[in-house]
Amino acid sequence: MMKNASAGDRFLPVTKEDMVRRGWDAPDFVYAVGEAYVDHPSFGHAIISRVLEQAGYKVAMLCLPDWHTCEDFKRFGRPKLGYLVTAGVIDSMVNHYTSAKRRRHDDVYAPGGKGGMRPDRAVTVYSNRIHEAYPGLPVLIGGVEASLRRFSHYDYWDDKVRRSVLVDSAATILMYGMGEKSILECAQWLRDGMPPEHLADIRGICYMAKQPPEGVAVLPSHGEVAADKKAYARSVMQEYHEADPIRGKALCQMQDAQRWVVQNPPSLPLTSEELDAVYELPYTRHYHPMYEAQGGVPALSEVRFSLSAVRGCYGACAFCALTFHQGRIIQSRSQQSLLREAAMLAREPDFKGYIHDVGGPTANFRQPSCQKQLKHGCCPNRQCLFPKPCPNLQVDHREFLETLRRMRQIPGIKKVFIRSGLRFDYIMADPHREQVMRELCKYHISGQLKVAPEHISDGVLDMMGKPCNQVFEQFGSLYQKTNEKLGMRQYLVPYLMSSHPGSTLQEAVALALYLKKKRVQPEQVQDFYPTPGTISTCMYYTGIDPRTMKPVYVPRTQKEKDMQRALLQWKNPRNHPLIRQALRQCGREDLIGYTSDCLVPPAGDRGDPRGAYPARRGKR
Q: What pLDDT, in 10s, does the model give residues 119-136?
A: 999 999 999 999 999 999
Question: How many CA atoms are closer than 13 Å to the CA of 536, on its beta-carbon side?
Answer: 28
Q: How far apart are the first and last CA of the chain?
A: 55
Q: Pairing mode, if any, of strands 205-209 and 173-175?
A: antiparallel
DSSP state, residue 103:
B
What gap in Å lies between CA 152 and CA 349, rounded to an integer?
49
Contact 527, 454 (CB under 8 A): no
Q: What is the mean pLDDT of residues 2-8?
A: 48
What does each C-alpha distance from 223 to 231, 254, 410 come to in angstroms?
10, 8, 59
Query: H or E element: which one contains 261?
Result: strand 259-263
- What is the model's pLDDT at position 7? 55
* Cα–Cα nearest to 42, from 306, 419, 403, 366: 306
64: left (phi over 0), alpha (psi -120 to 50) or beta: left
- What is the model's pLDDT at position 458? 97
CB-count burial class (<10 Å; 0-12, 13-18, 19+) for 137: middle
pLDDT tier for residue 258 given thresholds of 50, 70 and 90: confident
- Is 5's pLDDT higher than 50? no
User: How many helices and strands (H and E) does the chain possess?
Assistant: 23, 22
Amino acid at 292: E
- What is the model's pLDDT at position 612? 36
For residue 32, the cross-strand partners are 62, 85
pLDDT tens-digit series, residues 423-438: 999 999 999 999 999 9
What gap in Å lies between CA 461 and CA 544, rounded to an integer?
16
Query: H or E element: which one contains 522?
Result: none
- What is the model's pLDDT at position 609? 52
Percent of the chain whose pLDDT exceeds 70: 96
Tell me the three state secondary structure of residue 167.
helix
pLDDT tier for residue 373 given thresholds of 50, 70 and 90: confident
Question: How many CA atoms are closer than 13 Å to the CA of 347, on its beta-carbon side?
Answer: 6
- What is the model's pLDDT at position 617? 36
- What is the model's pLDDT at position 606? 59
pLDDT tier for residue 8 given thresholds of 50, 70 and 90: low
Tell me the three state secondary structure of residue 519.
coil
Helical spans, DSSP H, in 347-457: 371-376, 398-407, 424-428, 433-443
pLDDT tier for residue 524 given thresholds of 50, 70 and 90: confident
CA atoms 322, 323, 327, 328: torsion sign = positive
pLDDT tens-digit series, residues 161-172: 999 999 999 999
pLDDT tens-digit series, residues 422-480: 999 999 999 999 999 999 999 999 899 999 999 999 999 999 999 999 999 999 999 99
- What is the model's pLDDT at position 2? 43
Q: What is the mean pLDDT of residues 414-418?
A: 96
Query: H or E element: which one contains 56?
Result: none
* Cα–Cα nearest to 372, from 352, 394, 355, 350: 394
Backbone angles phi, psi at 354, to 5 degrees: -120, 120
Domains present along the chain, CATH in parentheses? 8-263 (3.40.50.2300)
Contact 219, 187 (CB under 8 A): no
Amino acid at 473: E
pLDDT tens-digit series, residues 569-585: 999 999 999 999 999 99
pLDDT tier for residue 4 given thresholds of 50, 70 and 90: very low
* Cα–Cα nearest to 184, from 11, 61, 47, 24: 47
pLDDT tier for residue 605 given thresholds of 50, 70 and 90: low
DSSP state, residue 335:
H
What gap in Å lies between CA 344 and CA 340, rounded to an integer?
6
- Is 75's pLDDT higher than 90? yes
- What is the model's pLDDT at position 608? 54
- Is 618's pLDDT higher than 50? no
- What is the model's pLDDT at position 616? 39
pLDDT tens-digit series, residues 22-58: 999 999 999 999 999 999 999 999 999 999 999 999 9
Report, in this order, helix, strand and coil percent for the chain, each rounded to 5: 40, 15, 50
- What is the model's pLDDT at position 607? 55
Kindly report the average pLDDT of the chain as a whole number.
94
Backbone angles phi, psi at 125, to 5 degrees: -65, -50
Contact 209, 260 (CB under 8 A): yes
Contact 367, 310 (CB under 8 A): no
What does each C-alpha distance from 474 to 269, 425, 428 come to in angstroms?
34, 9, 8
CB atoms within 10 A of CB 488: 12
What gap in Å lies between CA 58 and CA 18, rounded to an integer?
12
What gap in Å lies between CA 51 and CA 274, rounded to an integer?
11
CB atoms within 10 A of CB 528: 26
pLDDT tier for residue 381 given thresholds of 50, 70 and 90: confident
CB-count burial class (<10 Å; 0-12, 13-18, 19+) for 570: buried
Question: How many CA atoms are closer than 13 Å to the CA of 299, on its beta-carbon side?
Answer: 24
Residue 185 CA, distance from chain mean position: 25
- What is the model's pLDDT at position 323? 84
* Cα–Cα nearest to 174, from 142, 149, 148, 208: 142
Of 382 and 530, the one with more pLDDT = 530
What gap in Å lies between CA 272 and CA 283, rounded to an integer?
19
pLDDT tier for residue 382 given thresholds of 50, 70 and 90: confident
- Is 3's pLDDT higher than 70? no
Calculate ∠ Cα 45-250-136, nearest 5°: 50
The most distant pair of C-alpha atoms in the chain lies apart, rounded to whole Å, by: 85
Lowest mean pLDDT among 234-238, 313-317, 349-353: 313-317
Contact 502, 550 (CB under 8 A): no
Contact 170, 131 (CB under 8 A): yes
- Is 613's pLDDT higher than 90? no
pLDDT tier for residue 549 given thresholds of 50, 70 and 90: very high
Backbone angles phi, psi at 144, to 5 degrees: -60, -45
What gap in Å lies between CA 578 and CA 563, rounded to an integer?
6
- What is the model's pLDDT at position 522? 83
Calculate ∠ Cα 519-520-524, nearest 5°: 155
